[in-house]
Amino acid sequence: MKIPAFNMVNQNGEAITEQNLRGQRTILYFYPRDNTPTCTTQAIDFTGHLTELRAKNIQVLGVNGDSMKKHQNFINKHHIGFDLLVDEDYQLAKELGIYRQKKVFGKESMGIVRTTLLIGPDLTIEKRIDDVKVKNQLEVLFAE
């Protein structure tokens, strides 16, 4: 399956489409909210591995429904080293089945379920991990 066409902006208002993923592998991860404990841990973990990922020609992009301003604040506060995309209406998350009913602390609501995609240079989704556990996300992503 290929990644669906999309058109989002990053934290700086720059348009990013699926064509920006072409030619290299991409970790495209969906997370619920900026500046929450688990989401912060996840972004910091990816940032800590950026040098080795970039050496393998892999870029990282995070996606959620937060605004450009929230993304900018999150990046600056935690020194996140990659772009965060604004899926304000959850269009891509919905197309991929990532925006759905979930239960948090016993309360049911609609939202992004933490999911990581590994996308190939030809835009094919090579691997998908639903309900990601942040502590070993990269090991699971690259396990054979």
Please give the positions annotated as active site.
Answer: 39
- Say how far apart CA 111 and CA 99 lie, in whole Å: 5
Which candidate, 58, 56, 48, 61, places its Cα nearest to that of 17? Answer: 61
The total of other beta-carbon atoms located within 10 Å of residue 36's CB is 12
- Say how far apart CA 32 and CA 141 lie, in whole Å: 19
CB 93 within 8 A of CB 112: yes
